[in-house]
A and B are shown apart, each in its own frame.
Chain A
Amino acid sequence: GQQVMQIPQYQHVQEGEDFTTYCNSSTTLSNIQWYKQRPGGHPVFLIQLVKSGEVKKQKRLTFQFGEAKKNSSLHITATQTTDVGTYFCAGITTDSWGKLQFGAGTQVVVTP
């Protein structure tokens, strides 16, 4: 079955630095979504990517969808303490429109 893998599992970042988290799927995705979960909170939708090679930006966050629609990345520039949390990617395949498969997440810790 479809699997969505995320790396790294943990990311320790100095405030002001940049980092990237990666998401890889074993099968081609129709679209991919990214969520952020603050400690003790629930996942909050960030963005949806649909097109091959798509790049979207939200302030300091840059999201990319791979050309083959099997991988995605989230790049955060000038990390702030408010970026603390776990970032999940979630993918959907064309034959399973309802089964949004989540990766295990990247837990981000920011050091002031």
Chain B
Amino acid sequence: GAGVSQSPSNKVTEKGKDVELRCDPISGHTALYWYRQSLGQGLEFLIYFQGNSAPDKSGLPSDRFSAERTGGSVSTLTIQRTQQEDSAVYLCASSPQPPGHLGNTIYFGEGSWLTVV
């Protein structure tokens, strides 16, 4: 597709259930990021994938959170045993190069709105 695609766009889940959020980056983009944004707040870094390198997982808030990126393309963010404080918009982004490269542009998807009840 033309942009970063995320699914589902909205998810309501019961506390304690597991959820999976999917991200399809722009074709050819080697870098993929997951961020979390709570209502009216800034973006909280979760995880970063770059090519075949080991991901930077330093932003994952707990061991209930995990992410993988298969074949250097699609990524899945999994939240196990969801809690109410996990409610937020989960934003995926991709870029053709690492974020520090000159002229690099990062493109965000529309986000997956997660509500834990």
Residues of A within 8 A of B (CB): 6, 30-31, 33, 41-45, 48, 50, 88, 90, 92, 94, 96-105, 107
Contact = CB atoms under 8 A, between A and B. Distances in A.
Pairs of residues from A and B, 8 with the lowest C-beta to C-beta distance, nearest first: A98-B48, A104-B42, A102-B43, A42-B108, A97-B100, A98-B56, A100-B99, A97-B98
Interface in B25-59: 31, 33, 35, 40-45, 48, 50, 56, 58-59
Given A98-B31, A98-B48, A92 B99 contact: yes
Given A43-B43, A88-B43, A98-B50, A48 B108 contact: no
B23 interface: no
A97 B33 CA distance: 12
Residue among B48, B100, B103, B109 with most chain A CB within 10 A: B100
Given A43-B43, A99-B48, A105-B42, A50 B102 contact: yes
Contact of B110 (A6, A42, A100, A107): A42
Contact of B108 (A43, A96, A97, A98): A43
Contacts, number: 63
Given A42-B91, A102-B45, 11 more contacts: A30-B100, A33-B99, A43-B108, A44-B108, A48-B104, A48-B105, A97-B98, A97-B99, A99-B56, A100-B99, A102-B35
A91 to B, nearest CB: 10
Contacts of A98: 31, 33, 48, 50, 56, 98-99
Q: Specify the main secondary structure of chain A where it touches its partner.
A: strand
A44 B4 CA distance: 12
A98 B98 CA distance: 6
Given A99-B56, A99-B59, A103-B42, A92 B100 contact: yes
Interface string B95-117: 00011101111111111000000
